[in-house]
Amino acid sequence: PKQNTLAVIKHEAMEQHRETILEEIRDRGFSVTQQKEMVPSRELAEELYKEHKEKPFFNQLVDYMCQGPCLMLVLTKENAVEEWRVMMGPSDPAKAKETSPESLRARFGSDILQNSVHGSSNVQHAEEEIQLIFGDISTEEELSNT
């Protein structure tokens, strides 16, 4: 069965790497089923990253996410959540360079904060994050079919 995951191209990667990342996403067999460019509001960034609310880097993370336009994507494929995580590589680009040099974060991330891309950590989070950014997709599809 197909799965959805939320992928975000973060602002520091948008200018130089956006097209490469989109091309590689399609080459790996994902369908881009929703797409939206936006500068997240503080409220949205806080909600997106609520699982990290207690972390020492939370405020820095929210500040950074609001600093420029991000590309929000819904990627659809079998096992999409896990496959997008593999494509991104580890959160820390320094670690990614050692363990998975082909990964997006190894090639395009600068440091553990500015790591170029985001992906949902599990199926439950994927559903919540997609709902937050895009609203109820299945309802929209039903509406457009009538």
Which chain residues interact with ligand CMP by CB under 6 A? Answer: 49, 52, 57, 60-61, 91, 112-113, 115, 118
Q: Identify which of residues 30 and 49 has a Cβ nearer to ligand CMP in the complex.
A: 49
Nearer to ligand CMP by Cβ, of 15 and 145: the residue is: 15
- Type of residue numbered 130: I
Q: Does residue 118 have an active-site annotation?
A: yes
Say how far apart CA 8 and CA 72 lie, in whole Å. 5
CB of 84 to ligand CMP, least distance (A): 11
DSSP state of 2: E
Q: In what order do the strands lie in the sheet with 31-38?
A: 31-38, 70-78, 2-9, 117-119
By C-beta, is 112 or 123 nearer to ligand CMP?
112
Q: Which is nearer to ligand CMP, 19 or 111 (CB)?
A: 111
Residue 37 C-beta: closest distance to ligand CMP, Å: 17
Residue of closest CB approach to ligand CMP? 118
Specify the amino acid at residue 69. Answer: P
> Strand 31-38 to strand 117-119: parallel, antiparallel, or no bridges (unpaired)?
unpaired
For the bound state, the minimum distance from the C-beta of residue 91 to ligand CMP, rounded and expressed in Å, comes to: 5
Q: Which of 11, 17, 118, 125 is catalytic?
A: 118
d(CA 5, CA 139): 17
Within 56-144, residue ranges assigned H as helices are 58-65, 80-88, 93-99, 104-108, 123-134, 137-144
**Least distance from C-beta 102 to ligand CMP, angstroms?**
18
Would you please indicate which residues are annotated as catalytic (active-site) residues? 118
